[in-house]
Amino acid sequence: MTDDATTVRDATEADLEAMAAIYDEQVRTSVATFDTEPRGLVYLGDKLAHAGGSDIVLVAVRAGEVLGYAFSGPFRPRPAYDGTKEVSVYLGAGARGLGLGSLLYGALLARLDDLTEVHTQVAVIALPNDASIALHRRHGFTEVGVLREVGRKFDRWVDTAWYQRRVG
Residues 12-41 contacting ligand COA, CB under 6 A: 26, 32
- DSSP, res 94: G
Instruction: List all residues 6 or more positions away from 126 whose beta carbon is below 8 Å from its beta carbon.
Output: 31, 32, 33, 34, 151, 158, 159, 160
Extract the runs of DSSP E, i.e. beta strands, from 82-141.
Answer: 84-91, 120-126
- What is the smallest separation between the CB atom of 48 and ligand COA, expressed in angstroms? 18
Which region among 44-52, 55-63, 123-131, 143-151 touches ligand COA (by CB under 6 A)? 123-131
Near ligand COA by CB under 6 A: residue from 7, 9, 46, 99: 99
Of 54 and 132, which has the nearer Cβ to ligand COA? 132
Find the binding residues for ligand COA in span 62-91 (CB under 6 A): 88-91
- 41 dihedral zone (left: phi>0; alpha: psi -120 to 50; beta): alpha
Three-class secondary structure of residue 97 per DSSP: coil
Which residue lies nearest ligand COA, judged by its C-beta?
Answer: 101
- Length of the chain, in residues: 168
Choose one: 35-43, 94-102, 109-117, 142-150; the region binding ligand COA (CB under 6 A). Answer: 94-102
Q: Which stretch binds ligand COA (CB under 6 A): 77-85, 107-115, 131-139, 151-159?
A: 131-139
Residue with Cβ nearer ligand COA (49 or 93)? 93
Q: Give the Å distances, CA to CA, from 40 to 16, 23, 43, 95, 151.
A: 9, 9, 7, 20, 22
Contacting residue, 17, 49, 65, 98, with ligand COA by CB under 6 A: 98
Give the C-alpha separation, 52 to 24, whole Å.
24
Binding site for ligand COA (CB under 6 A): 26, 32, 88-91, 96-102, 125, 129-132, 134-135, 138
